[in-house]
Structure 1
Amino acid sequence: MMILAMSFGIDANQITFNMALKQRNIDLLPHIVDVISNPDSPNYGEYLSIQEINSFVSPLDCDKLVIREWIEKNNMNIINDYGDAFQIEGDIINVSKAFKINIYPVKAGFQIEGKYMIPKDLTYLIDFIEGLSNKQYPRIKVNSHVKNSNVDPGYVGRESLVSLYSINSTYNIKNSSVGVIEYSGSNGFDSDGLNESEYMNGQRVNNITPNHTVGDNDGEDVESQLDVIAASLTGQGAELWYWKTDNWLYSFAIDFMNQKDVPEVISMSWGWAEDQQCSITTCTNQTSEQYVNRVNTEYMKLALRGISIAVASGDAGAPGRTSESCDPSRPMNPVFPGSSPWVTSVGATVVMKDGRLGLNRFTTPLCLEDTCSVGHDEHSINYDLTGWTAGGGFGIYGTEKTPKWQETQVKNYLKNNKLNTSNFNVNGRGYPDVTMVGHNCPVFSDGTSESVSPVDGTSCSSPYFAGVLALINDFQKSRGKPIVGFANPLLYKMSVDGVFNDITEGYNWCTEYQCCPNNNQTSNYGFKATKGWDPVSGLGSPNVAKMLAWLSKKT
């Protein structure tokens, strides 16, 4: 049985968890998000306050009072009232009795037996509870492997990124922030390793301050270190955040939503199949679809605050990690939250040895002491190249219909390509939205140059793109313009004018272990990259210089 070491109060017998209350007016949220996120709208950038959002979606006070009385009757305490959610603390004996489960303190945390039960007379007021289970949360796996000799073997450090994505090497962000989000299971980041990365990449030292470190930071793990370093390489000078949260997606979203001081851009490198969310969090009285719907609502609320969310699209192709062996009964499985309509989903590319030398003079210690990537030819990552495959596909649930900001691109893709449409939802949200390099990302584990190692994954490409969004926010602020917020309407509008590098090579009918049956052009298990948007590499990789020029001209 799994042991969960989080969600404790100061007293080791106290457990903290979150209660999702039934919301109001959620059918109106998509329109409001569109009004403030569409660059053509006269209300673009008019983001809402925490209080305004909560007052709009929270249940009536009379309904909340009924729940409060039940909580108090069972000797539990509401430590945070988030409007449409309660954060509750209670002694494990009282919580066990209230929810008809058994909670036992153990050395590493606590052990829970059984599924919690919500009283029948309260089910019309409560959606679910998060934090009363032993389930573990899966991160997008980090890989480092090369299977093809045509792959550029060099590190993709700051110099390579600047060349590959046309980033002004001297641009230093002065007024923008970016954070990386980690869940239970991560240890933390190493400040010395971050500083060594900055030195080796020719950057100024930019520490993560204690007040921008949320949750435990108990020592470096490679995934957290990767996230922090990647965001710093593209978001040079940005205010960096590290945010570690207990429990799963919902709990993070409500905690983040209700904090006044938060980063403007965040990156998440975690995910699991949409239809298997109840294998990650306990879904008493609900389905995976209902859990996904509620989390999507929470992401809409973050969009209303003006928060940009970049999310890794996954490392097991269109089949996903729940079909690594190419199960014909589960040929394609969108990964959530990378498939959410309210995030910017980021795929991954690999730089090829193409003869088109993008760099021939290195100046940073990393590239002088080691080999750095010099090519400009990007292919979407797949098992045949690197031993893993970037995720992509289409959302499966009714609330994840093709958003209007990508309707044209998705319709063109479906019209111009021969596809077996019985294996995916042709009316679903297509992902990823964009892509960036996800191979040979340099990670320093301590304050020495010898500690560098190459790491792979959309866990790298997502914080890379988050750093780009932080740069764009800084640029817009310097011009007196609003920050990007929910970025997708702007990105898809930009794409019409060629601000992305179109990635036309690659496919995602492979996983981390093999390639599924295909004829080199089509497969029941995934898709092939082509001209324009596709569910392999999205709109392509960013040309930052063109993006800033577009913003200067059209905003």
Structure 2
Amino acid sequence: MAVMLLAVVAAVAAFPHDDVVLHKREFFPSTYERVEMHRDHEWLATPVTFTILLKQKNLEQLEDLFWKVSDPTHEMYGQFLTAGEVHTMTQTPLKAREEVLNWVQAVYKHVAHQSHELVVVDRHDALRITAPVSVVEALFKTTLAAFKRTRGNFGEKLWIKYIDTISVPRKFENVIDLVTGIVEFAPLPQGLKTYESRARGTFNCNVPYTMKRMYSIDEDLKVATQMASQAPYSEVGNKQEGFGASDLKTFQQINGVEVKAITNIIGDDAPNYTEMDTDTEAALDVQCLTGFAEGANTSFWVMNDWMYEFANEILNTNEPPLVNSMSYGWYESQQCRIDGNCTNEGFGTSEDYVKRTDVEFQKLGVIGITMLAASGDDGVESDKQCDKMRPDYPASSVYVTSVGATAVVDDDQSDPSIPASAPAVCHDSTYDCSCSTSNLEHS
């Protein structure tokens, strides 16, 4: 369990001028544009949440344990640790965490107004911090700016990110790995993709009823234990990124599955979520999850950041869902495109970000959490020049289960008609859905 440390300000320390640059931005992603803000008291007092990632220990031991508890043929299969035991194995030494905390507190004391709150959550190998803009700028010798998305209906929602460099005292060069939260711009969903195929595809509807037949799943199969839990992930719970509570209810009704609302909304952006928020990506996730795993406790993650924060949030959540799905991805080699350019002097590269996030995925596996990632059906396609492989992350991670799609093709055979026992969606012309009748999978 994370320990909450409400900052008790230490004496003002002399700020060293010998700094090392962790991140350097040269451009912004085209899906965002800067919003000019007056640098008045209101802006400088705006709270910002970010995470300082610290060096960890026993990572070889962690990975070894991950493979042992995940291998059905190994004697240690299923012998999971608790989150607390994982923290003990990998945590940054307390002295190093305290030194970083003292630095943060000293800057806060020097810069912040008395009414401004500083909140630090010790996550054992990272410090998750909420502080005013003025403090964050002084801490990292940077400038923060507000951005909005250029696509999508996100209303007045703003993202606060740095715009030049992020520096830390050189004495922390071997203590601090990365800074997240004010660095990366989370990508938009990549959306539906279409591909040409030599085989003639079908245009019939595939719903839980037809897919259960295709995969030989008992139509009456239900989850019999309350221990089962699952949750999809939305990269930001605002306007177009939710699952649509009303749509979910309609889907369940017309497909003849258990009508069960999702009421457990979790994650760092959960307080901003409303039942009106809806998006094709998230709606598809929850509809498939509830349609196939009737009886399971289904939650919905809403995160304001990218994959590291998501994995770390699961690790630090009491009794998190046992199965978590991710329908987002971005080129593994270009995680810094999310940032703009996070490569500088060997710090904060795409490789660094992926390696650190992979460690979080390993921790989740060691405590018995399953992570499912949509592959996007890209495999490891090349870039436009056909000279580099370009897999999507996190589906490319060996520490998650990557899930692709099934193509149903026309095989010129006469398939059986839909029986009367099929749900309303397959019979009622209101839904304009001609359900697939094939019970054969063609991948």
TM-score range, shorter chain: 0.7 to 0.9
Deviations along 1:37-68, one digit per CA (max 9) or x if unpaired, are 22233332121111100011011111111111
Cα 1:26/1:207, change in 2 over 3 Å: same
Does the Cα contact within 8 Å between 1:138 and 1:272 map onto a contact in 2?
A: no
Deviations along 1:191-241, one digit per CA (max 9) or x if unpaired, are 111111111111110110145587242411111111111211221221111
Distance 1:317 1:261 in 2: 33
Distance 2:34 2:292 in 1: 35
Matches for 1:51-450 after TM superposition, within 5 Å: 51-75=84-108, 77-104=118-145, 108-109=157-158, 110=160, 112-133=162-183, 135-143=185-193, 150-175=200-225, 176-184=228-236, 187-210=241-264, 215=270, 216-218=272-274, 219-281=277-339, 282=342, 285-319=347-381, 323=383, 326-330=384-388, 332-354=389-411, 355=413, 357=415, 360-362=418-420, 363-369=422-428, 370-380=433-443
1:189, distance to aligned residue in structure 2 (A): 1.6
Distance 1:356 1:74 in 2: 74
The alignment of Structure 1 onto Structure 2 pairs a total of residues equal to 371
1:296, distance to aligned residue in structure 2 (A): 0.8
Does the Cα contact within 8 Å between 2:162 and 2:183 map onto a contact in 1?
A: yes
Matches for 1:3-82 after TM superposition, within 5 Å: 13-75=46-108, 77-82=118-123
| Secondary structure of 2:334 counterpart | helix
1:145, distance to aligned residue in structure 2 (A): 8.0
Q: Is there any run of 5+ residues in structure 2 with no aligned partner, and where?
A: 1-27, 36-43, 110-117, 148-155
Does the Cα contact within 8 Å between 2:56 and 2:125 map onto a contact in 1?
A: yes
Does the Cα contact within 8 Å between 1:180 and 1:267 map onto a contact in 2?
A: yes
Distance 1:45 1:193 in 2: 37
Does the Cα contact within 8 Å between 1:300 and 1:342 map onto a contact in 2?
A: yes
Deviations along 1:291-335, one digit per CA (max 9) or x if unpaired, are 111111100000011011110112445326xx2xx31333x2121
Cα 1:212/1:279, change in 2 over 3 Å: closer
Q: What residue is the counterpart of 1:527 in the other structure?
A: none
Structure 1, 141-150 or 295-304: larger mean CA deviation: 141-150
1:187, distance to aligned residue in structure 2 (A): 2.5
1:111, distance to aligned residue in structure 2 (A): 5.3
Distance 1:74 1:68 in 2: 10
- Residue identity opposite 1:96 in structure 2: E
Does the Cα contact within 8 Å between 1:276 and 1:288 map onto a contact in 2?
A: yes
Give the TM-score, by structure 2 length.
Answer: 0.77
Deviations along 1:400-424, one digit per CA (max 9) or x if unpaired, are xxxxxxxxxxxxxxxxxxxxxxxxx
Distance 1:358 1:58 in 2: 58
More helix by share: 1
Cα 1:340/1:192, change in 2 over 3 Å: same
| Secondary structure of 1:349 counterpart | coil
When Rg is computed on C-alpha atoms for both structures, the one with the higher figure is: 2
RMSD, aligned α-carbons: 2.6
- Residue identity opposite 1:162 in structure 2: K
Q: Is there any run of 5+ residues in structure 1 with no aligned partner, and where?
A: 6-10, 381-555
Give the TM-score, by structure 1 length.
Answer: 0.62
- Residue identity opposite 1:374 in structure 2: T
1:160, distance to aligned residue in structure 2 (A): 0.7
